[in-house]
């Protein structure tokens, strides 16, 4: 939906594109620094809440930590996903869209009956890549919270690192096998989906 909105001729379209694409050009440490400035106990967000008389919130060490990480994950990955969807939208044959316009199809009908059909393979790819990227969010969480964050953002990688430090090799081995199996399944789904939709396009 974001790609479709930014494809339209809207004011400040280029600025919005820059906002969503900027994480692709910024190192992870810099992104984490921005989040620390925003969501620290004495950060920008709490300063803005204070203007309206609200109490300060310890965003990183409270139940809100998961929300903070989800926002970080979305902003960090939306740019790549947006590029994929905008490329898919640009590949839709113009004559099909023109025929739909001449047949008085509404924008909603055009979206569901034409655009969604051409975006299905990209949607599958982006979904699987987002699942894989969710394992990589550990870097950001670790830089924000170090070894022992609150339970809501305590990742599998945290668990493995801490078990390794405590020399709990049996539990560590089980966790490593579990993580490997999950990654193998996700990568297998990715290849199956790529082969399936690739054949559809070629056909």
- Rounded to the nearest integer, the mean pLDDT of the chain is 82
Q: Where are the alpha helices (DSSP H) in 91-168?
A: 94-102, 107-110, 116-134, 138-145, 156-165
pLDDT at 197: 56
Residue-level pLDDT at 48? 93
- How many Cβ atoms are within 10 Å of 178's Cβ, its own excluded? 12
Q: How many CB atoms lie within 10 A of CB 112?
A: 11
Q: How far is residue 5 from each of residues 13, 14, 41, 112, measured CA to CA in Å?
A: 9, 12, 35, 15
Tens of pLDDT, residue by residue over 83-121, are 888 888 888 888 888 888 888 888 888 888 888 778 877
Tell me what the mean pLDDT of segment 164-182 comes to. 81
Sketch out the chain's domains with CATH numbers. 16-82+96-202 (1.10.3720.10)
pTM: 0.72
Residues 6+ apart with CB under 8 A from 119: 85, 88, 89
Res. 202 pLDDT band, cuts 50 70 90: very low
Return d(Cα 15, Cα 20) in angstroms, integer.
9
């Amino acid at each position: 939906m974001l790609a479709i909105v930014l494809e339209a001729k809207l004011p400040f379209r280029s600025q919005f594109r820059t906002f969503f694409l900027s994480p692709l050009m910024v190192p992870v440490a810099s992104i984490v620094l921005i989040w620390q400035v925003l969501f620290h106990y004495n950060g920008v967000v709490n300063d803005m809440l204070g203007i309206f008389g609200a109490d300060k919130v310890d965003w990183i060490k409270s139940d809100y930590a998961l929300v903070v990480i989800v926002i970080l994950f979305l902003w960090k990955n939306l740019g790549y996903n947006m590029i994929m969807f905008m490329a898919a939208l640009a590949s839709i044959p113009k004559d099909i869209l023109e025929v739909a316009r001449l047949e008085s199809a509404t924008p909603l009908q055009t979206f569901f009956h034409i655009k969604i059909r051409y975006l299905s393979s990209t949607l599958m790819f982006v979904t699987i890549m987002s699942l894989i990227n969710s394992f990589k969010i550990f870097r950001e969480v670790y830089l924000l919270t170090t070894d022992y964050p609150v339970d809501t953002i305590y990742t599998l990688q945290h668990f493995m690192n801490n078990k390794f430090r405590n020399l709990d090799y049996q539990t560590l081995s089980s966790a490593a096998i579990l993580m490997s199996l999950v990654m193998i399944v996700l990568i297998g789904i990715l290849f199956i989906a790529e082969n399936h939709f690739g054949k559809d396009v070629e056909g």
